[in-house]
């Protein structure tokens, strides 16, 4: 079929969207592996650990007990109660079970939220670098992504003053993640408070606070922006099970939101998916109601890997890194290589750089353009220390050919 014929069949919506760069790169690496090529995959943001056994056991028990039917659209009450207890215990936040919406991953919560809040022409401020899907979900809903950037020299954290300057009478929502994917940066209490104070001054403005990496935080305690009373009623906290409990394939996430927003998201979800998987929901209860030792052990491993990768990357000329204090990503600025060539490939941008590494070093990463910063590329260090050492050795060798 010709591309014009395809365009006449497909919606403008899907034609204006880009494919998720993280999933695309992971797919390319998978194909090369299938051809027998020894690719080290540092592209997908996914813990390399298995789901803890007690969580799997809860799922088996749930199946045997017959929890195999549709659940309430917003999620089973026991799970929503466990989420409320977690939000109180760990974050000091008061939410009622009716304010919780459980979905097929945090990604779906973000999509539900944007579908519920955004009208065509509405603006959404996205603090950049940002997670790939934010801008495309906003676009899918007809919204306009207003991307505010901070580079490596600012630890990739957009200051509140720049947020305030970007607010217009069409701004509905501010979106960000802390700890941040793709930079590993964590907004500190003062930085969060300053953003909260800006939002508090604009009465129709809401915050989507993506806290999915809250436990993978090497700075100590996680702070939710919803803990500032001035914005508690205007913050939608998004979280999930994928990262903290190594449950990416279970597809389970949640939001805690002002009541009318939660109700609107339930309405949307009821027409789209009917809710999250019943067995995964029972596993989610076990995850939240047990101690966090497996999560803490994973976090300690990620911290050792962070230290390792930082020390190794320091030896590569032209790599400018921040010091990530959370998540499991590092986002080096490699713009020093732009314009350089190995005699065959010239590097013009971050995607060229990432593809060059895939083809020449057999290391899969993701170009920074999809995260809003074309000077950088993302390495997910959710891999063994041996894989990290070998990947950086290969990267160093490949870039040494760029002159
Ligand atoms: N937010 C961020 C910042 C992420 O990195 C991801 C990727 N897992 C998600 C949301 C979505 O997570 P999931 O849908 O697996 O719960
Ligand atoms: N969040 C992960 C990442 O950033 C998983 C892939 C995705 O859902 O985009 O790589």
- CATH number assigned to the domain comprising residue 215: 3.40.640.10
Mark whether 167 and 279 lie in a shared domain: yes
pLDDT tens digits for range 247-260: 999 999 999 999 99
Question: Atom 12 in ligand 1: which residue has the minimum CA distance?
Answer: 106
Which ligand is closest in space to the CA of residue 252? 1
CB 156 within 8 A of CB 129: yes
Q: Check if 45 has its Cβ closer than 6 Å to any atom of ligand 1.
A: yes
Distance CA 182, CA 379 (A): 8
Distance 388 CA to ligand 2 centre (A): 19
Which two tokens mark 177?
Answer: 């993640």
Distance 151 CA to ligand 2 centre (A): 21
Distance 216 CA to ligand 1 centre (A): 13
Q: Is 20 a residue whose pLDDT tops 90?
A: no
Query: 26 pLDDT band (50/70/90 cuts)?
Result: confident
Distance 106 CA to ligand 1 centre (A): 5
Q: Is 23 a residue whose pLDDT tops 90?
A: no
pLDDT tens digits for range 73-108: 999 999 999 999 999 999 999 999 999 999 999 999
- Ligand 1 atom nearest residue 107's Cα: 14
Helix axes 106-117, 133-140, angle to 10 degrees: 40
User: What's the whole-number average pLDDT of the chain?
Assistant: 96
Distance CA 241, CA 294 (A): 13
Query: 386 pLDDT band (50/70/90 cuts)?
Result: very high
Q: What is the domain range of residue 151?
A: 67-289
242 by Cβ neighbours in 10 Å (0-12 / 13-18 / 19+) ranks as: buried
- Confidence (pLDDT) at 276: 98
Distance CA 108, CA 7 (A): 26
16: CATH? 3.90.1150.10
Which residue from 163, 174, 170, 157 is spatially nearest to 234, judged by alpha carbons?
Answer: 174
| Within a domain: 145 | yes
Q: Check if 47 has its Cβ closer than 6 Å to any atom of ligand 2.
A: no
Q: Is 18 a residue whose pLDDT tops 90?
A: no
46 contacts: CB under 8 Å, gap ≥ 6: 242, 248, 380, 382
Distance 355 CA to ligand 2 centre (A): 18
What is the mean pLDDT of the segment spanning 365-372? 96
ω into 179 cis (within 30 of 0): yes
Mark whether 178 and 149 lie in a shared domain: yes
Distance 265 CA to ligand 2 centre (A): 22
CB 180 within 8 A of CB 322: no
Q: Check if 44 has its Cβ closer than 6 Å to any atom of ligand 2.
A: yes
Mark whether 242 and 350 lie in a shared domain: no
- Ligand 2 atom nearest residue 212's Cα: 1
What is the mean pLDDT of the segment spanning 220-229? 95
Mark whether 82 and 203 lie in a shared domain: yes
Query: 25 pLDDT band (50/70/90 cuts)?
Result: confident
Can you list the alpha helix ranges (DSSP code H) found in 141-277? 160-166, 189-200, 259-272
| Within a domain: 254 | yes
- Confidence (pLDDT) at 218: 96
Distance CA 100, CA 87 (A): 11
User: How far apart, in Å, are the Cα atoms of 197 and each of 111, 287, 370?
Assistant: 26, 34, 30
Q: Is 221 a residue whose pLDDT tops 90?
A: no
Distance CA 70, CA 276 (A): 9
- Ligand 2 atom nearest residue 107's Cα: 8
Distance CA 262, CA 269 (A): 10
- Confidence (pLDDT) at 3: 84
pLDDT tens digits for range 280-329: 999 999 999 999 999 999 999 999 999 999 999 999 999 999 999 999 99
Q: Is 17 a residue whose pLDDT tops 90?
A: no
- Confidence (pLDDT) at 202: 96
Cβ neighbours, 10 Å, residue 301:
17
Mark whether 97 and 46 lie in a shared domain: no
What's the whole-model pTM score? 0.96
Mark whether 268 and 239 lie in a shared domain: yes
How many percent of the chain have pLDDT more than 90? 93
Q: Please state the φ and ψ torsions of residue 263, each to the nearest 5 degrees.
A: -60, -45
- Confidence (pLDDT) at 32: 93
DSSP 341: B
- Confidence (pLDDT) at 22: 84
Q: Is 174 a residue whose pLDDT tops 90?
A: yes
Which ligand is closest in space to the CA of residue 107? 1
Q: Is 7 a residue whose pLDDT tops 90?
A: no
| Within a domain: 59 | no
Q: Which of 43, 106, 132, 354 to mutate to test the pocket of ligand 2 (most atoms within 8 A of CB)?
A: 132
Domain-ending residue, one of 233, 260, 289: 289
Vertex 68, ends 95 and 210: CA angle to 5°? 35
| Within a domain: 60 | no
Mark whether 171 and 78 lie in a shared domain: yes
Distance 313 CA to ligand 1 centre (A): 26
Mark whether 104 and 243 lie in a shared domain: yes
């Amino acid at each position: 079929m010709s591309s014009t014929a395809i365009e006449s069949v497909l919606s403008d919506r899907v034609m204006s969207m880009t494919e998720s760069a993280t999933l695309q790169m992971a797919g390319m690496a998978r194909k090369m592996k299938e051809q027998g090529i020894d690719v080290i995959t540092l592209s997908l943001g996914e813990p390399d650990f298995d789901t803890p056994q007690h969580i799997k056991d809860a799922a088996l028990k749930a199946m045997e007990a017959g929890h195999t039917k549709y659940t309430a659209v917003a999620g089973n009450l026991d799970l929503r109660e466990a989420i409320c207890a977690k939000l109180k215990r760990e974050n000091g936040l008061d939410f009622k079970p009716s304010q919780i919406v459980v979905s097929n991953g945090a990604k779906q919560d973000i999509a539900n939220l944007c579908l519920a809040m955004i009208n065509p022409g509405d603006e959404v401020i996205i603090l950049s670098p940002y997670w790939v899907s934010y801008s495309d979900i906003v676009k899918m809903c007809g919204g306009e992504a207003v991307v505010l950037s901070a580079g490596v020299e600012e630890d990739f954290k957009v200051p509140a003053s720049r947020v305030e300057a970007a607010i217009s009478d069409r701004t509905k929502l501010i979106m960000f993640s802390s700890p941040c994917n793709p930079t590993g940066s964590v907004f500190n209490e003062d930085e969060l408070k300053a953003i909260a104070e800006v939002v508090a001054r604009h009465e129709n403005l809401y915050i989507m606070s993506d806290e999915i990496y809250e436990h993978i935080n090497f700075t100590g305690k996680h702070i939710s922006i919803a803990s500032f009373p001035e914005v508690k009623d205007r913050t939608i906290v998004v979280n999930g099970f994928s990262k903290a409990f190594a449950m990416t394939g279970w597809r389970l996430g949640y939001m805690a939101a002002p009541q009318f927003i939660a109700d609107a998201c339930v309405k949307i979800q009821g027409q789209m998916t009917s809710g999250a998987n019943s067995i995964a929901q029972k596993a989610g209860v076990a995850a939240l109601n047990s101690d966090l030792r497996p999560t803490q052990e994973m976090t300690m491993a990620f911290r050792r890997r962070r230290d390792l990768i930082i020390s190794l990357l320091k030896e590569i000329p032209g790599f400018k890194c921040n010091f990530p204090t959370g998540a499991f990503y590092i986002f080096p600025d490699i713009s020093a290589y732009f314009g350089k060539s190995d005699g065959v490939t010239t590097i013009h941008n971050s995607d060229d750089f990432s593809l060059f590494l895939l083809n020449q070093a057999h290391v899969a990463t993701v170009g920074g353009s999809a995260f809003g910063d074309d000077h950088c590329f993302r390495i997910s260090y959710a891999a063994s220390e041996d894989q990290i050492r070998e990947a950086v050795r290969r990267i160093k060798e490949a870039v040494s050919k760029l002159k």
